[in-house]
Amino acid sequence: MTDGKANLRIGDDDYPLDIVPAETGNTGIDISKLRADKGVVTFDPGFANTAGTRSSITHVDGEQGLLRHRGYRIEDVAENCTFLEVAYLLLFDDLPNQKQLEEWTQTVKHHTLLSEEMKRFFDAFPRSAHPMAILSSATNAISTFYEKYNDPRDPEAVSESARRLIAKMPTIAAWAYKKSAGQPYIYPRNDLSYVENFLHMMFALPVAEMKIDPVIARALNVLLILHADHGQNCSTATVRFVGSSQANLFASVAAGMNALWGPLHGGANQAVVEMLQRFHDDPDMDADRAIRRAKDRDDEFRLMGFGHRVYKNYDPRARILKKFADDVLTTVGLDDPLLAIANDLEKTALDDPFFQERKLYPNVDFYSGIIFRALGFPARMFTVLFAIGRLPGWIANWKEMIEDPATRIARPRQIYVGEVERQFVPITERP
Ligand code: ACO
């Protein structure tokens, strides 16, 4: 690359390409006119080497293991902020002052109730329904109550939708759980903090007063912050992708939730704990055997909670969570055997050349499930907790996408490798 240009040689032709500078991290090469000018497209399965947008929300340095939101280190915001403070940071570019935070918190609290009709919506699911299915369906469904705010080009309508989504998500999540537990839905309490209110709706019963444990509330606050945003991950890219067609914010976020559900993404937190439980229950399984299986190319087994598309170093969120897991389990007085299994697996993996050569480290999901479990959440709720945490990041990215004049409908090309043209055969003549 020279003089702000890169050069692509196609056959005997030189084709100069503009450079897209970055404040920090990878510089881009603009190939947007390549097909029009040269009749070729780039090929990049999984978009592993493709920047689909410029963004000023979150920077992940995978080589160094750094994560910053709007320039602030994740370690600092996780230690010092409330979840709603971080949501404000992601949505409005900077940390709020005291007055701004109070106003923002009040605004969000104003919208925590769901429409009464929504109760029947929850009732219609089987008790066995996975709460992620209920969460994404309900997120889509509540848009029908706010259709006047559905225009993505109206900034005031978008702000109204964003506030409602953040306010109502804990209510939807808790009711999804109550449905599966066969317990009565608990209404939000606006005298409580965001996290306390969620814990109240999850675990309270109408028959008794529930006291919220401040240790559990503090731990959940940190966990939600650690999930709040992470650049162009699968679910966030999905939210942008869907939103690029000018689908409304609710519909775009619901799509992101479905992307998050998969075990290679946010569903990994549930998968990790289920994997650790299997190891615990199987006397023949130990860390060495698990690592041998993970390395075996003929075995589909993967070490869940390990590896990351961007991090080629220790995920800073996992670093915080590893220490946090010890602290939380000690504070709540729980001796979870799964933590010892996880520590053993991590050590064995990190000492193994296969994992070292491929730079596979624990990711955010490796320890989060163990902490969620210690806080009293069932495994099927873990990805729902991830979704509550990631919501501000999805909305911030959706807003950035919709406000960016460079946004076009997301529509990748393909390299066609099928039959070119066939003679049509009537059904009566087909073999
Ligand atoms: N266990 C065993 N081997 C692994 C693992 C793992 N968890 N992760 C990656 N590898 C190996 C692959 O087999 C591959 O080896 P190869 O080069 O010999 O073929 C190499 O490491 C690179 O892996 P890819 O799958 O090509 O990496 P990619 O960036 O496409 O995938 C992913 C990243 C999906 C996270 C992967 O590491 C994985 O499946 N991890 C387990 C699931 C998980 O924990 N997901 C949560 C991710 S964090 C998040 O989304 C919140």
> pLDDT tens digits, residue range 101-147?
999 999 999 999 999 999 999 999 999 999 999 999 999 999 999 99
More confident residue, 165 or 2: 165
In the predicted structure, residue 3 carries a pLDDT above the cut 70: no
Ligand 1 centroid to Cα of residue 246, in Å, is 32
User: What residues form DSSP beta bridges with 2?
Assistant: 5
* Residue with CA nearest ligand 1 atom 24: 309
pLDDT at residue 339 in the model = 94
With CA atoms as reference, report the closest residue to 194 among 92, 101, 116: 101
> pLDDT tens digits, residue range 8-19?
999 999 999 999
Please give the number of the atom of ligand 1 that sits closest to the Cα of 386. 51
- Would you list the DSSP string of 147-177? GGG--TT-HHHHHHHHHHHHHHHHHHHHHHH
Report residue 144 as tokens: 């029908």
pLDDT at residue 44 in the model = 98
d(CA 322, CA 364): 9
Ligand 1 proximity of 29 Cβ (cutoff 6 Å):
no
297 φ/ψ angles, rounded to the nearest 5 degrees: -65, -20
Ligand 1 centroid to Cα of residue 355, in Å, is 10
In the predicted structure, residue 2 carries a pLDDT above the cut 60: no
Average confidence (pLDDT) over 360-384: 96
Ligand 1 centroid to Cα of residue 326, in Å, is 26
Ligand 1 proximity of 259 Cβ (cutoff 6 Å):
no
Ligand 1 centroid to Cα of residue 149, in Å, is 39
Please report, for the chain, how many H helices and E strands are present, in that order: 18, 6
Give catalytic residues, as residue numbers.
Answer: 308, 365
Give the type of residue at 141.
A
Average confidence (pLDDT) over 321-325: 91
Please give the number of the atom of ligand 1 that sits closest to the Cα of 48. 29
Report residue 95 as tokens: 């940390």
Ligand 1 proximity of 345 Cβ (cutoff 6 Å):
no
Positive or negative, the CA dihedral 258, 261, 262, 264 is positive
Residue 380 banded pLDDT, cuts 50, 70, 90: very high
* Residue with CA nearest ligand 1 atom 41: 304
To the nearest whole percent, how much of the chain has pLDDT over 70?
99
> pLDDT tens digits, residue range 49-100?
999 999 999 999 999 999 999 999 999 999 999 999 999 999 999 999 999 9
pLDDT at residue 199 in the model = 98
Best residue for ligand 1 mutational test, from 226, 296, 308, 311 (most atoms within 8 Å of Cβ): 308
Report residue 20 as tokens: 């897209």
d(CA 367, CA 305): 8
72 φ/ψ angles, rounded to the nearest 5 degrees: -90, 135
6 φ/ψ angles, rounded to the nearest 5 degrees: -110, 160
pLDDT at residue 1 in the model = 58
What's the 3-state SS for 178-236?
HHHHCCCCCCCCCCCCHHHHHHHHHHCECCECCCCCHHHHHHHHHHHHHCCCCCCCHHH
Residue 283 banded pLDDT, cuts 50, 70, 90: confident
Average confidence (pLDDT) over 228-252: 98
pTM: 0.96
In the predicted structure, residue 7 carries a pLDDT above the cut 90: yes
